[in-house]
Structure 1
Amino acid sequence: MESRSKSNHQLQQGVCSARPQKRSPSVIVIGGGIAGLAAARALQDASFKVVLLESRDRLGGRIHTDYSFGFPVDLGASWLHGVCKENPLAPLIGKLGLPLYRTSEDNSVLYDHDLESYALFDMDGNQVPLDLVIKVDKIFKMILEETDNVRQEFSEDMSILRALSIVFERKPELRLEGLAHKVLQWYLCRMEGWFAADSDSISLKCWDQEELLPGGHGLMVRGYLPVIHTLAKGLDIRLGHRATKIVRMYNGVKVTVENRKTFFADAAIITVPLGVLKAKSIIFEPKLPDWKEAAISDIGVGVENKIILHFKNVFWPNVEFLGVVAETSYGCSYFLNLHKAAGHPVLVYMPAGKLAKDIEKMSDEAAASFAFTQLKKILPDASSPIQYLVSRWGTDINTLGSYSYDAVGKPHDLYEKLRVPVDNLFFAGEATSVLHTGSAHGAFSTGTMAAEDCRMRVLERYGKIDLFQPGMGDEVSVIPLQISRF
């Protein structure tokens, strides 16, 4: 990009000078994921001077479309959860003409595929009869309804797993045995995959607080990268710039990166992943308020990975995914079939929670071998993959986790506390979305929200607010008073 050729001296004097004489308001956006790009795009379109600092040598964050197989495959986010006009990403995806493959007609939290597309197998390679799969599905929903009764009865929070044990104690007729028990564990495995966490750490009181958009789940057939490129077009982006220190001053902010360069601006929008904030990889001066640090500490961050296996030929059933049932959810497996969705001979193994963390301790070769071993259990004649890719979101220094979830004993309003600005620091990302945590559209919407909050705050300081002009993409409307408890 042309703007990348600017020297840091020019940036300090032009974009980020602390002197208030005639110049445009300036903002530093930290993090080049979809939240950071959405914020930077909105502010630049509002005539702000914006520089975006990204630690990696690529954009997208936890959106990472890989082309090494000769076609796009997403190692991170790959679904649009809520294929509808209410989804804030829908207009952009529609304008780009990106096709979606709908993997579910409903908006269930429990799984993102319709029952008719399941092909479940036991460890001996025998396919589970569909009528048993449907029967267990109904029982699992009954069990979850009973856990709601447990939630209403107990004042203190507990894990989903503990609530399940209480249900089985009270209603032993819901306790399954044999193959049906293994299928039930597979459903629990898929529920854990949604939260990227094990059921013994997911909050009973808060697990279903997410607002699900209508329209079901749509797989991005060509990957998410075109969305990232569109948002990034024309922005001043500095790749390989890892923020290490953020200083709040009375007249702006100063951001120091790993190579000791410093950037100055009126405000900053912080969109780094929750795992990075938890690791305290960035020093804040003065330190963040206790309520903000508590939110960072107490929101859960889970791990879900992808081991992508590319084969020469298709040898598996023509269903959207293959599943392996087992005695425990830890032993269950899940493979997404990209051939049905996108026409490529690819299966994607998707471990979550403790299993994902254990696999991250392996080499890429060993991880791919592990995934293939799970596949051989159900398809003994499976041919070896010709290529593979392995994600490591839990140990990647730039993420340290996949996405957030409600931990046991912690209130759901922590997401709102993480979003609330601190002076001229604004926060965005999936973990700041109260209703759409863990989703690409949730991250995107928090980026645009933080941009508007930042725009108003900075223009307020400059005395340039025009109350009779609409905000970024908004109609003129009555704005409610902002009242916060934090």
Structure 2
Amino acid sequence: MFKKRLFNYLIFICLMGYKFFLLGILCVLFVGELVDFSYGQYNKEFYDVVVIGAGISGLSAAESLRQMGLDVVVLEARDRVGGRLWTDNSTGTPLDLGASWIHGVKYSPIYELTKRHDIETIPTLDYSHKEALIYYDSSGNPLSDADEKALDNMYEDFLRFAYEKYEYHSDHPLKEKLFDQYVEYPKNSEKSIQYLLDTYIQLNDLGHLEDEFRHLTNLHFEHEWPAPINNTSARHHNTYLGFAGHEVIFPGGYDQITDKLAEQLDIRLNHIVYSVDYSSKNPDSLVFTTANSVSSGEVIFKSRYVISTLPLGVMKDSVQKDNVSNYGDFQSSPILDTDVGKVTFIPSLPNEKIKSIEKMGMGVMNKVYLEFEKPFWPDEQWLSFLHEGDNIGKWAIFLNVHKVLKDSGNENAPAILMAFNSAQYGKEIEKKSHEEIKQEAIKVLNQAYGTESNPILVSHLISDPLITKWGSDPFSRGSYSYPSIHSSPADYEQLAKKVDGKLFFAGEATTPSFMGVVDGAFLSGVRSAEEVYFEYQWDTKHVKIFYVLLGITSVFVVAWIAFLKYRQHRQIALDLLNRSKEVAWKTSILVVFSMIFVTVVYLWADTQVGIIPDIFDYATVLEDDCIILSELLKVLPYLDLSPQDEEVYYNQFNRCLYQ
């Protein structure tokens, strides 16, 4: 009896002591919120966060952190903000040399910014809309309606063939995670779009339209993912979710978005970062970012954290030795041979991250803007020239900028065409002179619109063409990422992972669901900002103490409940234990073998017959629109929308959850 009473007294003393200990910790936390004990707050050379790059991801990260109350500086190598968003106004018409479109306005954060800041946009149709596109054969003659319809039907059938046999099935995530990852993927790894195309053509008689079909397939894939189709993954090219709704462009230029985001930020232009030292030997575990300033020479920025928004092309050349990649000819033949723009990380990045960077693909897509005295081409929005043999992919598609601007209400729209050159020829064109590029463009247009008596001449151009060379830009080293045959979505996720709680990453190549698009870059910037803010709270606002305290409390409570239950229900527990021994061992064996049988039947049905059991339809995630809406909800606090607009989106997401 005495021992029992003594034990109860000890429990009482422990509980009371823990209560006062908890009260003391809460007081420390409260005072810590009032007084910031963080180091370096009065040092002008110290920042909470250094953001490398003033592209859309860097600007969204910096603006989000600014709204969170952190001290942020953005270092930009160029003499402008925007990165691969670049609007040229030299002709009097704003022309986007980098990204041009919002690819789907539904739940797009960029489109929300246009509404918030009253930025004008113009709806357009992509070249999958038959009414917006005209095809020309290699002789410059329009395809007949019958051939054009046959080509479109072939392409739709090819997409069905690709989806059924090889693509990542985002609508069956459980199947993908549990079976395809270990059964189908190893069997079909490193299969390319070219492999799919050759296989499809072998299985189908395409007749006289085989060359045209090869061109059409090449056009669609190489102008979505700017790499040769023999380098583009058949399995993962379709992991991009895509935004619903119509596409829009900016008659006043995409830089209106970046200018708005940059208004309240501390941005240092002409600061070329070449070293990021995040080693633990640094004083107070700071990160030292070293840059060459055009006006000040070498400058060192001290910060707690660094967000790198370096494009994948820069990352690849920064981590690869001697500019050599082991992953494909397209990636292993760099256009640029200079160390300018490369960044050295001290210590080196983790091997897993370096391997992912090397496997991922950085594509090249270049634009050529041609302005004439007056339009001599038809009124379709897209003009596609089907070439044969080695010319497939060269000068394959033109955007009728004149029509787009005229349809928006501009009666005096200039006569401008914009040509895309992508993938291998996108790289080759960067080695050509302006004069050679002009002559090639005029030659293609002459095939369809020129005559012997009235040819189209270079002299008909009223201004020098605007020509981009993104692969030769030392601060981008390519246009945007693409799903290479060597990579998977896991590599994009690996690139996005933080290092040592001090080095963070953002950019379109860090988000597999939205790779290659401006919205993806924006979302990644907000995501990295929130990761930094959590680390900041952990390091400086006593969040660490809170979590340790929460853990101790949880263990104490669980142990106390278990102790009480043990004392009160000891006999019940013993009874249950004895009953459990009565379970027949045959039942256990039956359950195990049943699970094995179901698994084997499933694998056979899926791999041999191609049947996907309906059971997996009940284990899918939300619809794509709802997933995209959930991403928009994450960034709503940083878009400065009205409470009414925010409530609309929250209500829509509730309907997604309960529909």
TM-score tier by shorter-chain length is: 0.7 to 0.9
After superposition, the Cα gap between the structure-2 partners of 1:122 and 1:252, relative to the gap in structure 1 and judged at 3 Å, is: same
Aligned 8 A contact 2:127 2:133 in 1: no
Q: Trace 1:87-126 onto structure 2 (pairs within 5 A).
A: 87-104=108-125, 112-126=127-141
Which of the numbers 526, 529, 548 marks the counterpart of 1:448? 526
Aligned 8 A contact 1:307 1:389 in 2: yes
The structure with higher relative contact order (CA 8 Å, sep 6+) is 1
Q: CA deviation at 1:331?
A: 4.2
Q: CA deviation at 1:369?
A: 2.5
Q: Trace 1:54-453 onto structure 2 (pairs within 5 A).
A: 54-84=76-106, 86-104=107-125, 112-151=127-166, 154-169=187-202, 171-173=203-205, 175-178=206-209, 181-250=211-280, 251-258=285-292, 259-280=297-318, 281-328=342-389, 329-331=392-394, 333-342=396-405, 343-380=413-450, 381-382=455-456, 384-387=460-463, 388-423=465-500, 424-453=502-531
Q: Using the alignment, how far apart are the partners of 1:322 and 1:316 within structure 2? A: 9
Structure 2: segments with no counterpart, 5+ residues: 1-37, 168-183, 319-341, 406-412, 547-633, 639-645, 651-659
After superposition, the Cα gap between the structure-2 partners of 1:465 and 1:365, relative to the gap in structure 1 and judged at 3 Å, is: farther
Aligned to 2:176: none
Q: Using the alignment, how far apart are the partners of 2:113 and 2:635 within structure 1? A: 19
- Identity, in percent, stands at 30
Aligned 8 A contact 1:133 1:183 in 2: no
Amino acid at match of 2:473: D
Structure 1: segments with no counterpart, 5+ residues: 1-17, 105-110, 478-486
Q: Using the alignment, how far apart are the partners of 2:244 and 2:636 within structure 1? A: 26
Q: Using the alignment, how far apart are the partners of 1:221 and 1:29 within structure 2? A: 30
Q: CA deviation at 1:99?
A: 2.9
After superposition, the Cα gap between the structure-2 partners of 1:207 and 1:472, relative to the gap in structure 1 and judged at 3 Å, is: closer
Give the TM-score, by structure 2 length. Answer: 0.65
RMSD: 2.4
Amino acid at match of 2:421: P
| Secondary structure in structure 2 of the residue aligned to 1:261 | strand
Q: CA deviation at 1:368?
A: 2.6
Q: Which has the higher helix share?
A: 2
Q: Using the alignment, how far apart are the partners of 1:366 and 1:396 within structure 2? A: 20
Q: Using the alignment, how far apart are the partners of 1:123 and 1:167 within structure 2? A: 23
Q: Using the alignment, how far apart are the partners of 1:266 and 1:112 within structure 2? A: 47
Q: Using the alignment, how far apart are the partners of 1:96 and 1:65 within structure 2? A: 18
After superposition, the Cα gap between the structure-2 partners of 1:279 and 1:63, relative to the gap in structure 1 and judged at 3 Å, is: same
| Secondary structure in structure 2 of the residue aligned to 1:421 | coil
Q: CA deviation at 1:183?
A: 4.9
After superposition, the Cα gap between the structure-2 partners of 1:248 and 1:62, relative to the gap in structure 1 and judged at 3 Å, is: same
Q: CA deviation at 1:53?
A: 0.4
Amino acid at match of 1:443: A
Q: CA deviation at 1:125?
A: 2.5
Aligned 8 A contact 2:189 2:485 in 1: no
| Secondary structure in structure 2 of the residue aligned to 1:404 | strand
Aligned 8 A contact 2:395 2:441 in 1: no
Aligned 8 A contact 2:47 2:302 in 1: no
Aligned 8 A contact 1:98 1:221 in 2: no
| Secondary structure in structure 1 of the residue aligned to 2:62 | helix
After superposition, the Cα gap between the structure-2 partners of 1:332 and 1:315, relative to the gap in structure 1 and judged at 3 Å, is: closer
